Structure 1
């Protein structure tokens, strides 16, 4: 008998066994942050999160993976579901690229306590800031099948909240928020991630094709970095190991400045695991007077380059040295053109500055489903208000006269360079 093989979905799973070479062969188009190599390293770094992955299989070696992690108690704000409703942590920390929200809403959510929200299931890569399915086969109903299986299974397992914080607006991903909404959830705007298509024949051709103001900005960035006395170099693979600790320190200095909650140990663990796995990793190093004062780590996967971690010693280089752009945007793009790559995926953070230098944005969506059906209408209203505040923060809309919603300064990227 003929017919297409049946798709089988299993929830609450461990990671499938797959090394980096297997990812290159079988998860060719998936973001590196969604593959077993990265996720296994994240699980070593984030020991308080319990793996709860949803895996779909079809025929032999056909696989789709939607990562998930159970959070038992309030974590750092980027992994805290209530912050995506507009709740403000007592510490004052905010989600990446955050905006101030209505204090009355925050008080309402705070008054509910943690019981309606924890344990929570965070869908996606916690240190990759990406909610997406990594797959090597596709059907029009695949994402819907996975979500329709995982939501009831999660609630049956005692999960109170399913949150998908960072759903990229890539083609096909719209099925994720649609399926979560159909399961009783609600979705809202979170922000933008930025990417650059390498459509020119070279770096020089790329510069020449840019509008005059964007071209002048890029040249000015390089001049300012040189004037600051910062020398940029690049090391690859195992040659990065001596710098891992300093890279983690500088990255966390940058993220602490911009409101993200990672620790040096998280970054060092994941970076070391990528090197151990033989992933194509390169680090751009900015040195001044013999000291390492700026770093950017990028991962290459096939014809795409993913700048991920950036870190700076602003006490040494100043706030307006231009080194961020020269190190994070210009140097990787130069190399990507030289290597014949097709796209540089910069991720979220410093959105407006990236667009001014030629990048294209994609919207990112947050979705949430609560087990408490009576609370869902209020949560939907809170999500809508949070999304509106994020639009203001990203410059898409004016702030309401009664509420100030300032943008966190974007001198560097917070959640990713991802």
Structure 2
């Protein structure tokens, strides 16, 4: 529906504390669950380096609302909270770490190295930092909604002495399209960040899905699932009780996998968030690869409406090896089979491993980072960095 927008306010996290996940599913089905209040509540305070969140909030009446999460970042406590990370820059304090699992250093880092911390911070980050999503939670829509929220963000930044505004995870879908359009219209510096992958489910079952594949894709499917069989893995969907039982093991596998790609994460981060999500009534789907009763590979997804959003994947590399092929059997096909069983229409596989996902039928979607600043020399530095970083990142995420 459409509704007239009201003035946008900036409110603390508690403003949406009364919203249930059922409300998110029924009234705001389009945004990712990682952009919504249930996810933000579940992840709040788990990583002490992550700044607290607030909302840009519009309430037009009749119970409708639109909200854009934001974080005020005062120092580069983690690469994810540093605007320079999204344009190829790195901070000495975070040397050896990466942002959101990016595996390659960018040549743009040298361009941004000339900026002082005072040129960048305090920074206003638009979106859900722990969810890697810059989306609007909305139960109504108007053509001016994205513009209204961004105008409010700029006004708020001015009152808070903000040096830079960054919208790091603007995907080319849903409200992201409107946000991207308005950010470009305002002259924000843009840099390609990543490709996220999704797979429409059009065939009713995994068996029908495989039957509809091209010959080479069916061959690849047999290779992938055959690799899991060679490893002796029993790939299956966990019950909720089994998920609870294996939370600690899932955390160990997931953290080890992220650390392998340069991220600094604690073993108990994912288990704490998943336990809170279960308490909040968020339906989770967990697929595991077991051998002799031991969980050696896993993928946990959040369910929202007719979409599944894969979030946590992990593997016992010491046991399976680094090129075992278990990833595809568990993350891709195990999740796909369970998604068909749940009558889902789309699996959102997210960022990472784009080439391999594309070879297995996934569709790509661009994720772009945008930055505002009132300081000409800072804008010039970020523009120069974006000109270097965008082709570098596109080469990293190029389709096969």
CA separation in 1, counterparts of 2:321 and 2:115? 43
Which runs of structure 2 are paired with 1:369-408 in the superposition (5 Å)? 369-395=372-398
* Secondary structure of residue in 1 paired with 2:124: strand
In the TM superposition, what whole-angstrom CA distance separates every residue of 1:354-382 from its partner, at most 9, and x where no partner exists?
11111111111111112423421221121
Q: Is the 8 A contact 2:307 2:347 kept in 1?
A: yes
* Secondary structure of residue in 2 paired with 1:232: strand
Q: Is the 8 A contact 1:100 1:389 kept in 2?
A: no
State the TM-score, normalizing by the size of structure 2: 0.92
- Superposed displacement of residue 40, structure 1: 0.9
CA separation in 2, counterparts of 1:124 and 1:265? 24
**Residue aligning to 1:413:** none
Which runs of structure 2 are paired with 1:79-94 in the superposition (5 Å)? 79-90=81-92, 91-94=95-98
Q: Is the 8 A contact 1:130 1:166 kept in 2?
A: yes
CA separation in 1, counterparts of 2:6 and 2:395? 42
**Residue aligning to 1:272:** 275
2:221 corresponds to 1:218: yes
Q: Is the 8 A contact 1:151 1:183 kept in 2?
A: no
**Residue aligning to 1:54:** 56
2:47 corresponds to 1:9: no
- Superposed displacement of residue 309, structure 1: 0.5
* Secondary structure of residue in 2 paired with 1:38: helix
**Residue aligning to 2:333:** 330
**Residue aligning to 1:356:** 359
**Residue aligning to 2:102:** 97
**Residue aligning to 1:141:** 144
In the TM superposition, what whole-angstrom CA distance separates every residue of 1:218-249 from its partner, at most 9, and x where no partner exists?
11111111101222232233432221111111
**Residue aligning to 2:178:** 175
Change (3 A) 1:343 1:396: closer
**Residue aligning to 1:406:** none
**Residue aligning to 1:405:** none
* Secondary structure of residue in 2 paired with 1:248: helix
Q: Is the 8 A contact 1:63 1:135 kept in 2?
A: yes
- Superposed displacement of residue 172, structure 1: 4.6
For structure 1, the 5+ residue unaligned runs are: 398-418
Displaced runs of 4+ in structure 1, greater than 3 A? 3-6, 181-184
Deviates more, 1:260-269 or 1:305-314: 260-269
* Secondary structure of residue in 1 paired with 2:199: strand
- Superposed displacement of residue 19, structure 1: 1.7
**Residue aligning to 2:199:** 196
* Secondary structure of residue in 2 paired with 1:300: strand
- Superposed displacement of residue 108, structure 1: 4.2
Q: Which of 256, 263, 267 lines up with 2:259 in the alignment?
A: 256
Change (3 A) 1:73 1:246: same
CA separation in 2, counterparts of 1:295 and 1:113? 41
CA separation in 1, counterparts of 2:158 and 2:285? 42
Which runs of structure 2 are paired with 1:51-130 in the superposition (5 Å)? 51-90=53-92, 91-95=95-99, 96-102=101-107, 105-130=108-133
* Secondary structure of residue in 2 paired with 1:292: strand
CA separation in 1, counterparts of 2:225 and 2:70? 41
Q: Is the 8 A contact 1:215 1:357 kept in 2?
A: no
Which runs of structure 2 are paired with 1:230-241 in the superposition (5 Å)? 230-241=233-244
**Residue aligning to 2:41:** 40
Q: Is the 8 A contact 1:198 1:344 kept in 2?
A: yes
Count how many residue pairs are aligned between Structure 1 and Structure 2: 393
Q: Is the 8 A contact 2:224 2:329 kept in 1?
A: yes
CA separation in 2, counterparts of 1:351 and 1:139? 33
CA separation in 2, counterparts of 1:317 and 1:328? 15
CA separation in 2, counterparts of 1:264 and 1:370? 37
CA separation in 1, counterparts of 2:399 and 2:31? 29
- Superposed displacement of residue 273, structure 1: 0.7
CA separation in 1, counterparts of 2:148 and 2:348? 28
Q: Which of 312, 315, 318 lines up with 2:315 in the alignment?
A: 312
In the TM superposition, what whole-angstrom CA distance separates every residue of 1:204-225 from its partner, at most 9, and x where no partner exists?
2211211111111111111111
In the TM superposition, what whole-angstrom CA distance separates every residue of 1:16-47 from its partner, at most 9, and x where no partner exists?
12122222222222211111111012222134
Deviates more, 1:338-347 or 1:360-369: 338-347
- Superposed displacement of residue 75, structure 1: 2.5
CA separation in 2, counterparts of 1:11 and 1:92? 35
For structure 2, the 5+ residue unaligned runs are: none
In the TM superposition, what whole-angstrom CA distance separates every residue of 1:134-172 from its partner, at most 9, and x where no partner exists?
111000111111001112311321221211111111145
